[in-house]
Amino acid sequence: MTTEKKAPAISGMGVLVLNCLLALAAVSVCIYEQVYSLPTMLTTAGIVYLFLPCPLLFAGLKVLKPREALVLTLFGSYIGTLKGPGFFFVNPFAVSVNPTDFNASSGKIGRGTKGKIISLKTLTLNNDPQKINDKAGNPINIAIVVIWRVVDTAKAVFDVDNYTEFLSIQCDSALRGMVSQYAYDDKDAEISLRGNSSEIAEKLRAEIQTKVGAAGIDIQEARITHLSYAPEIAAAMLQRQQAAAIIDARQMIVDGAVGMVEMALDKLSDKHIVELDEERKAAMVSNLLVVLCSNKDAQPIVNSGSLY
């Protein structure tokens, strides 16, 4: 496992000024030799410097913006990582390495422009929605967004082939494993995908972190951005939800109606308004329940005769 270390570097401004002065001196020597016939050795030295050391010194100049890094190798060996904003000079033969192809603006893999600079900024990864079977075997469509950043550039570059593709694959794998453990919506379960999205997201973040820690990536957040039943069962599940809602509403209405009937009988008995035998109580209960539980307005019938 490769460990990140600081790359040897010096200020690039001094090297730039010195190289420009030496290049100007070399050009001046060449011109001066033509005019005053100086020894050929000075002209040769000036020409050699212009074609060899001068370009090499310019090649060693590196400019970095805030939250950017360069992973440098020298003849195949890792020599360190250049971090932080500034103008630097490194070994001209050092080569920067970055195996990824990531578009930070869209959060997609394989749609960016390959560059040698590694971004240390907080990035987002948006994977396409996947069709996964939940714990009950129902196919659902689910998508997540992952907030991440590179914390160890050496591990990210050398310990995995392509750390952004590695992250994307591990996110898909962790999502499939997590969804298969929970139902989309289950009243009997303590945790469901629809009712406990925050808890599921935190567990998903921890699961992804364990998988990508070896690649030097820190997962800051994982959130579910899309969750729905697959189209082939969406209509049936909608009917099921509507039926469950109707049953719950009816149960609440019946509970309230029974309480109101019980209260009415107790009030009549306590205040001695009317004495009812068991048969009349049953009839009264039946009538009140019909009135209170009916979907339509009741049509009362007025009895102008005696009770019996």
Q: Which residue has the tokens 């009243």?
A: 187
Backbone angles phi, psi at 140, to 5 degrees: -130, 155
Whether residue 112 is predicted with pLDDT greater than 60 in this model: the reply is no
In a domain, 307, yes or no: no
Domains in the chain, number = 3
Residue 97, strand partner residues? 71
Q: What is the CATH number of the domain that holds 124?
A: 3.30.479.30
Domain annotation covers residue 257: yes
What is the DSSP secondary-structure string of 53-81?
A: HHHHHHHTEEEE-TTEEEEEEETTEEEEE
What whole-number distance in Å separates Cα of residue 299 and Cα of residue 243? 28
Least confident segment among 75-89, 155-169, 224-238: 224-238
Structure tokens at 112: 């960016």
Q: What is the pTM assigned to this prediction?
A: 0.69
Q: What is the pLDDT of residues 167-206, one digit of tens each?
A: 999 999 999 998 888 888 776 667 888 888 888 899 999 9
Q: Does residue 82 sit in the same domain as residue 19? A: yes
d(CA 216, CA 160): 10
Contact indicator for 47, 36 with CB cutoff of 8 Å:
no
Is residue 33 located within the same domain as residue 147? no
CA dist 4 to 61, 81, 151, Å?
A: 21, 7, 10
Instruction: Return the pLDDT at 220.
Output: 94
pLDDT for 169 = 92
How many C-beta neighbours within 10 Å does residue 110 have? Answer: 12
pLDDT at 113: 40
Task: Grade residue 35 by pLDDT with cuts at 50, 70 and 90.
Answer: low
Question: Which residues are within 8 A (CB) of 169 and not within 5 positions of it... i.e. 6 or more apart?
Answer: none
pLDDT tens figures, 281-296 = 777 777 777 776 766 6
- Cα–Cα separations (whole angstroms), residue 277 to 11, 189, 204, 274, 308: 104, 47, 64, 10, 11
Domain termination site, one of 96, 127, 147: 96
> What is the Cα–Cα distance from 53 to 40, expressed in whole angstroms?
19
Is there a domain that residue 66 lies in?
A: yes
Task: Write out pLDDT tens, residues 43-87.
Answer: 777 778 778 888 888 888 999 999 999 999 999 899 999 998 999
Residue from 142, 146, 111, 143 nearest 125 by CA: 146
Look at residue 107 and tell me whether its pLDDT is greater than 60.
Answer: no
In this structure, the answer to whether residues 124 and 213 fall within a common structural domain is yes
Residue 108 has pLDDT above 80, yes or no: no
- Cα(82)–Cα(250) distance, integer angstroms: 68
Domain residues for 146?
A: 102-229
Quickly count: other Cβ atoms within 10 Å of residue 55's Cβ: 14
Match 């298969």 to its residue by tokens: 180
Is position 73 within any domain? yes
For 268, the token pair is: 């009549």
Tell me, yes or no, whether 261 and 156 share the same domain.
no
Domain termination site, one of 229, 260, 276: 229
Kindly tell me if the per-residue pLDDT of 209 is higher than 90. yes
In a domain, 301, yes or no: no
- Look at residue 306 and tell me if it is in a domain: no
Strands 95-97 and 118-119: unpaired
CA distance 175 to 196: 15
* Contacting residues for 174 by C-beta, under 8 A, at least 6 apart: 204, 207, 208, 211
Which residue has 């009816």 as its token pair? 250
What is the pLDDT at residue 114?
Answer: 45
Helix (H, G, I), strand (E, B) or coil at 86: strand
User: Is residue 170 within 8 Å of 208, Cβ to Cβ?
Assistant: yes
- Does 250 lie in the same domain as 214? no
Domain-ending residue, one of 229, 251, 281: 229
